[in-house]
């Protein structure tokens, strides 16, 4: 399965070049959350009611595929309820996972992707992967 979301806005404090963490929220986020988050709106092709995301799945951002090397226990529920997950770009899976985080494989020297309003993100589960 594949779920596509469009970036509606990038909060003024959402991206810190010294950090490898991006907080994603759906378009119903509060103003306080919008300031520190990337706001996404999912298309209607696939219902979020069926959203599933597991270790080994992928996220496509700006034509680049990132493999999930760890997925917290609340990611599926939080995405269904609020369009929320915390994307952590990292080279190794930590021993203890944040419950709302998706850990995406990235080399140390590699920069995190650029998040721009209007861009698309794909969450790819299982057989839909390239």
Q: Check residue 107 and give its pLDDT.
A: 81
Residue 84, pLDDT score = 96
Q: What is the pLDDT of residue 18?
A: 84
∠ CA 31-86-95 to the nearest 5 degrees? 145
CATH number of residue 65's parent domain: 2.40.33.40
Q: Is 64 exposed, middle or buried (0-12, 13-18, 19+ CB in 10 A)?
A: exposed
pLDDT of res. 31: 93
Task: Write out the residue range of the structural domain in which residue 21 sits.
Answer: 2-128
| Spatial contact of 79 and 51, defined as CB atoms under 8 Å apart | yes
The reported pLDDT for the residue numbered 52 is 94
Q: Which of these, 78, 66, 128, 61, lies nearest to 103 by C-alpha position?
A: 66
- Say how many domains are in the chain: 1
pTM of the model: 0.93
Mean pLDDT of residues grouped by 10 in the chain (130 residues)?
A: 95 90 95 96 87 96 94 96 96 93 89 92 80
Cα gap 12→125, rounded to integer Å: 30
């Amino acid at each position: 399965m594949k779920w596509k979301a469009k970036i509606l806005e990038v909060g003024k404090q959402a991206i810190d070049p010294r950090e490898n963490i991006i907080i994603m929220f759906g378009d119903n986020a509060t103003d306080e959350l919008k300031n520190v988050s990337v706001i996404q709106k999912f298309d209607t092709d696939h219902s979020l009611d069926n959203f599933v995301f597991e270790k080994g799945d992928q996220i496509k951002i700006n034509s680049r595929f990132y493999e999930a090397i760890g997925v917290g226990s609340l990611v599926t529920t939080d995405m269904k309820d609020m369009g929320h997950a915390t994307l952590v770009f990292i080279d190794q899976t930590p021993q203890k996972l944040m419950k709302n985080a998706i850990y995406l494989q990235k080399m140390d020297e590699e920069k995190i992707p650029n998040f721009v309003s209007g861009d698309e993100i794909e969450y790819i589960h299982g057989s839909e992967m390239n």
